[in-house]
Amino acid sequence: MSTPGTSPQPPASRRIAEALRTAIESGQLSPGDKLPSERALAEQYSAARNTAREAIRLLAEQGLVTARHGRGVFVREPRRLFRFGSDRYSLKNRETGLTPFRLEAQRQGKVARIDVVSIAQEVPPRDVAERLNVSASEASVIHRENHYFADDEPVQIVSTYLRWDEAQGTLLMQPKTGKDGIYGRLEELGHVMTRVRDEISARMPTPEEASVLDLLPGVPVLEVLHTSLDQEGVPFEVSRYVHRADQTGLLYELPVE
């Protein structure tokens, strides 16, 4: 029972988790280091083993440690794949022949893989319909869903929406869209990207997203709703990027107008 005027003590599991978190953040425990066993933690903090187990679970939910079957619990190495928002669509990058994601991965020493999951004519979500200026009550878009991997680790889900009346019968309906990817094909349709709008938010994942991205419990996602606008200011492509927040950072360097 707490003394009047004082705050109650947090549970023992949280005190142990906070002590370990401090050790990780200060560098006392480094990425790759093995945590003491549940028995050792229980003895060190004069607690029960199930209390130590709960402390480790709290750290895992925070993305600080990971359990390896039969080996123990280890401090996770923070690895982030940065999305370079102001640079990724630059025309100068076209000379590399790589899509924006493949180029970003290559620059960071990672091997990119993109799985094309589905391509279908669909009724768009309302926020997509508003940004593309298409009907939200009929199948007015092509939806391309891709899953992106860096060094075989899932990092993002991308749902790209294009106008059905433009995409039908073109390579935009195929898994492989040819040189310069979808933006090359959209340029052939008269849309040269001159401006982009990225709307960024953070949220918890849906169960399906958590499964695809192999997320630990408690790890949020970053959502980027991207709109491409052409030389006439017409929106011609909308993509919803769902990034795992423990593996992705966003970097924007923009001129001040």
70 pLDDT more than 90: no
Sequence spans of domains, the chain? 12-75, 81-251
Domain 81-251 in the same topology as domain 12-75: no
- Please report the pLDDT score of residue 16 as a whole number: 92
Residue-level pLDDT at 7: 57
Judged against a pLDDT cut of 70, whether residue 79 lies above it is answered with no
Specify the DSSP element, H or E, that contains 126: helix 126-132
What does the pLDDT look like over 144-172, one tens digit per residue?
999 999 888 888 999 999 999 999 999 99
pLDDT for res 77: 72
DSSP letter, residue 200: E
Question: What is the tens place of the pLDDT at every residue in 167-176?
Answer: 999 999 999 9
Model confidence band, residue 4 (pLDDT cutoffs 50, 70, 90): low
CA neighbor of 35 nearest in space, from 48, 19, 46, 14: 19
Q: What single string gives the DSSP state of each residue in 130-186? A: HHHT--SSS--EEEEEEEEEETTEEEEEEEEEEEHHHHTTSGGGSS---TTHHHHHH
Q: How far apart are CA 91 and CA 88, in angstroms?
A: 9
pLDDT in the model for residue 88: 65
Q: Which pLDDT value is given to residue 89? A: 64
State which fold the 81-251 domain adopts: Chorismate lyase (3.40.1410)
* Secondary-structure class of domain 12-75 per CATH: mainly alpha
Does the pTM surpass 0.75? The reply is no
Pairing mode of beta strands 81-84, 248-251: parallel
Q: What is the pLDDT of residue 5?
A: 56
Average pLDDT of every residue of the chain: 87
pLDDT of residue 63: 73
